[in-house]
């Protein structure tokens, strides 16, 4: 029941880190242990999503591993079983297993309500060279919350309104920004740059370290790219995903 994990390029190999800690390796081991499949598996991993950038690269790799192995073994786990294992690997993994680009999650991410996808919009990612440790970010948020008498004011999210970008932009926030921006003020400046250039929504991704901006049109996006590159920031231009309709998630 061996798992062999290899990278396709030297850069990707360096990004793997210690193989036993890699989410692809852990997902494969967990799948084989839970299903009792006797044979091993050899996996070749090509990393295209920047590592340590808060963009869900490792979580999506783990989800793809579970899905591929289950398909190879005639859906032994099925959708519910894959979601159960995904939740054991990380809070983001179930989202990447549910197949929808938009979902409302609660708890530790294992409970999901898939939603109709939003209209596709252009996106600009600003990636700093310095990476914020996820463990460090969570510890800092915990310390900050422990020192507060009350948590942040809750927002009422109505699933029927979450198909509207303006509604989401009014309510979207990231609790990590307070602690991450305090330690890395250049990330706060990157967010302000996106806002100045007309981003409909600008936020830190997860615990960092990428800042993203969602734009209404390509003109504003191109101006933001020029401003970011003038400021010496690494940019990636992409867009939000919009499949025909979300599949059931559980």
CA dist list (Å): 69 to 16, 28, 73, 92, 130: 20, 8, 6, 19, 35
Report the distance separating Cα 60 and Cα 40, nearest Å: 21
Report the distance separating Cα 40 and Cα 20, nearest Å: 15
Report the distance separating Cα 194 and Cα 43, nearest Å: 38
Residue boundaries of the structural domains of the chain: 3-98, 122-239
Question: How do residues 19-30 score in pLDDT, each as one tens digit?
Answer: 899 999 999 999
Report the distance separating Cα 153 and Cα 29, nearest Å: 41
Q: What percent of the chain has a predicted confidence (pLDDT) above 70?
A: 90
How many Cβ atoms sit within 10 Å of the Cβ of residue 24?
22
Per-residue pLDDT for 147 more than 70? yes
More confident residue, 241 or 57: 57
Contact 195, 206 (CB under 8 A): no
Report the distance separating Cα 137 and Cα 135, nearest Å: 5
Question: How do residues 210-232 score in pLDDT, each as one tens digit?
Answer: 999 999 989 999 999 999 999 99
Per-residue pLDDT for 167 more than 50? yes
Tokens representing residue 189 in the block: 């400046």
If pLDDT is split at 50, 70 and 90, which confidence band does 15 have?
A: low
Specify the CATH class of 3-98 in words: alpha beta
pLDDT at 132: 72
Q: What is the DSSP letter of 207?
A: T
Per-residue pLDDT for 174 more than 90? yes
pLDDT at 52: 79
Section 141-159 average pLDDT: 73
- Kindly report the backbone phi and psi dihedral angles of residue 245, in degrees, each rounded to the nearest multiple of 5, phi listed first: -165, 150
CATH of 122-239, one of 3.30.70.1520, 1.10.275.10, 3.30.70.890, 1.10.3720.10: 3.30.70.890
pLDDT at 246: 46
Residues with Cβ within 8 Å of 169's Cβ and at least 6 positions away in sequence, in order, are 200, 201, 214
Helix (H) or strand (E) holding 145: helix 134-146
Q: Coil, strand or helix: which one is 156?
A: coil
Question: How do residues 80-128 score in pLDDT, each as one tens digit?
Answer: 999 999 999 999 999 999 988 899 888 888 889 998 889 999 999 999 8
Which of 58-67, 72-81, 161-170, 182-191 has the least mean pLDDT? Answer: 161-170
Per-residue pLDDT for 145 more than 90? no
Which of 125-139, 141-155, 226-240 has the least mean pLDDT? Answer: 141-155
Q: Give 103's strand partners.
A: 114
Cα 39 to the chain's mean position, in Å? 31
Contact 125, 210 (CB under 8 A): yes
């Amino acid at each position: 029941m061996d798992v062999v994990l290899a990278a396709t390029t030297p850069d990707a190999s360096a990004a793997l880190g210690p193989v036993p800690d890699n989410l692809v390796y852990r997902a494969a081991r967990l799948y084989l242990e839970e299903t009792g499949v006797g044979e091993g598996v050899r996996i070749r991993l090509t990393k295209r999503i920047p590592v340590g950038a808060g963009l869900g690269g490792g979580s999506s790799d783990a989800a793809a591993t579970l899905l591929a192995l289950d398909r190879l073994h005639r859906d032994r786990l099925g959708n519910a079983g894959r979601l159960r294992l995904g939740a054991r690997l990380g809070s983001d993994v179930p989202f990447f297993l549910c197949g929808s680009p938009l979902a409302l999650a609660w708890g530790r991410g294992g409970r999901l309500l898939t939603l109709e996808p939003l209209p596709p919009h252009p996106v600009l990612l600003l990636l700093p060279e310095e990476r914020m440790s996820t463990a460090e970010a969570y510890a800092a948020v915990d310390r900050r919350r422990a020192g507060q008498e009350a948590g942040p004011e809750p927002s009422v999210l109505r699933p029927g309104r979450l198909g509207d970008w303006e509604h989401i932009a009014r309510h979207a926030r990231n609790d990590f920004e307070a602690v991450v921006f305090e330690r890395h003020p250049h990330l706060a400046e990157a967010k302000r740059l996106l806002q100045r250039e007309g981003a409909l929504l600008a936020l830190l991704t997860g615990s960092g370290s990428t800042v993203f901006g969602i734009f209404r049109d390509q003109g504003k996006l191109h101006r933001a790219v020029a401003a970011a590159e003038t400021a010496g920031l690494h940019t990636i231009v992409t867009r939000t995903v919009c499949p025909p309709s979300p599949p059931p998630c559980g």
